[in-house]
Amino acid sequence: MKNYAPIVTGRLFDSDFLVQQRNYCAQHWSKAEKDPTSMRFSTLGAAHICDTSEDTHAFADNLRFRSPLAFQLRHRKEALENGMLRETPIPGELSLDQITKNFIVGDVDICVERCVEIIESVCPTHMALYFGVGNVPHNKTMQSIERFGSEVIPRIEKQLVPLKSIGNN
């Protein structure tokens, strides 16, 4: 049997949601008579390094915008207007401040802190992150990717271990 890793998105929720999802997968792993400590688990989320609170909230608003659209499609509640999905509020929609707290978005210190929190609590074997969301300008997306590699990852590795050594079961 191959040891494939499920890839789980936290949607707009915090790392506690990812821990719940990991535990759910581990229960099923156990039912298949597999050792849950050997289970590979991957996360999918968004990240963006921002130097201003305006950029942080703009990125969070782009994340928020797509959530109701995905909800409509997932629950077959599409509302079309001239052939386009119409944005409608979803039950329990989070505020921009809450979305900002739940994602790897903010200055370098905040991004490092959130990554370390996810790695320590969720123990992912892989983290897939997208940096370009909605109408975030391409140059800001590229700048964020470059800064993540040059500023965030080295600080994560300084606090934890080299990322290459995580999840190599």
pLDDT at 120: 92
Q: Does position 114 have pLDDT exceeding 90, yes or no? A: yes
Tokens matching residue 5: 């890793």
Q: Are 37 and 80 in contact (CB under 8 A)?
A: no
**For 15-52, what is each residue's pLDDT tens digit?**
889 999 999 999 988 898 888 888 888 999 999 999 99
Using CA atoms, how far residue 95 sits from 47, 59, 134, in Å, is 18, 13, 17
Residue ranges and CATH numbers for the domains of the chain are 7-162 (3.20.20.30)
Q: What is the pLDDT of residue 77?
A: 75
